A and B are shown apart, each in its own frame.
Chain A
Amino acid sequence: MSNFTKRSVLRTMLLGLGLATIAQPIWAQDNPIKVGTSMALSGPLAGGGRQSRLALQMWVEDINSRGGLLGRKIELITYDDQGSPAQSPGIFSKLIDLDQVDLLIAPYGTVPAAAVMPMMKERQRLLIGQIGFQINSKTHHDMWFNNSPWSDADSWVGGYFKLGQKVGVKKVAFLAADQEFSQNILAGAKTLATKSGFESVYEQTYPPTTVDFSAMIRAIRAAAPDMVFVASYPADSTAIIRAVGEIGIGSSVKLFGGGMVGLQYEAVMNTLGSQLNGIVNYHTYVPEKTMAFPGVREFLDRYTERAKAENVDTLGFYVAPFSYAAGQILEQAVKATGSLDSVELAKYLRSNEVQTIVGPIRWSADGEWAEPRVVMIQFRTIKDGDAEQFRQEGKQVVVDPDRFRTGDLISPLSEAQRN
């Protein structure tokens, strides 16, 4: 009886071990690596948030079609934070404690992402950025790695002021939205103007409910600046450029634009059409030959098809490749370390270059790009009512920095508008 019992126990153990060995891959399939994030899927920032979600979904589908990571499938868990800093910390608590995600990507956008940084530092979790600006400047979290090609305000709009110096600007006018992001950019721009020796002849901050910009454009024209720096949000950008076209900004203006959000989006560009000609503005990616990073055009072709079905920006230049790259950053780090541990992954990312569809990325100590590469582009030969033209080379010519330059700046604005 006792022998029988011992044998049966041994047999059962062996059977159990055997089953466990066979069951392991099945268990692994049922236990995916969870990647958690949040983005604005409703509210004013939802246009970018939904692009970002689509790009991340595409990364998950791509990686799962290749067998996943560490033999496990990837599961993306996303929540709608409405672009609000009041929502994002609660969502990230839930992602960590209830959903028990393995990896985290920051909320889309600056303000909701900044709100989760103290928690990430306290919990010692790796966080990959998702189109945020200066998020780690106060927290100094050593496991933060931004996916966006900038570091400080200088890296964002420094090129604009460099162009101003080249064309002999002396007087500058500032127009900025009364929102945190625009104000940060404005502060940086004013410092750059001082450093460049430009005199400020007009400065106006406007509230987000402004309907008509005619009065401000008339005042700028009266101040006769050589250069106008604008830090605006999408709806304002359209209204400002339209008012410039209708009222005129004056022949003294050599450069107009700089920090206008929205001029990267299909809907805004279609709305403005030929009124964009001559405007110089920041961008993260344009389809110029100097920015043809491996894989980016193929990604954007696939993205366009998916974006049509999901009713989001079908160009996707500004956000989508960078959100896809956020996934690629995690992918390379996990593959190289064979680990999901935040400390291990952060150690790898601090000392290695990552290859992505937005080019190779290395980070400086604060987790921002070691070599920022925001480009200044000038709109050229844009016609009305042609959405496809923005996919062509030569329509958004890179005029700064030199390593991505595809054309020389045309100045003053009145001459550039004719081109």
Chain B
Amino acid sequence: MSDEYLSRGYLTMDEIKEITELPSEERLKKKPVAVPECPQKIPCTPCFEICPVGAISMPTPNDRPVVDYEKCIGCSLCVQICPGLAFFMIHYRGEKARITMPHELLPVPQRGDEVVLLNRKGEEIGTGKVVLVVPREKSVGDTPVLTVEVPIELAWEARAIRVKEARE
């Protein structure tokens, strides 16, 4: 893969597909599934070490994580622990998709809140609804994790949120 993404600071969808095969539509409908956006070979292993079902392979600490989507149970521990905040979970539910993402800013939204969705370049692309919050105290990685319901066409676009009152 070219390293053009390093001049931009974000990955395009094509680049993500180059670093990791995506889960099948069928798998995405079944239950949440973890997808890493971790393109570089960096010395980092917490996701591999914490996965309770051994779904993440990483032959050496400097290899990229590869998720076996059939083994993944959608527990979100990798999203909670990842020091690079580079793990997300996706789950298709009819017309909607649920994205599970880390959120280390204040305020932490509450279940039911409508939030602004941001893409990988920080552009506002719509709104979503928070359906689950793992607060910091309950997160194995000290990072709050949110599950946000979004229109299904934004499942592979929305990667961060902004709480509405906090908008400038």
Query: Is A bound to B?
Result: no
Interface residues of B (CB under 8 A from A): none
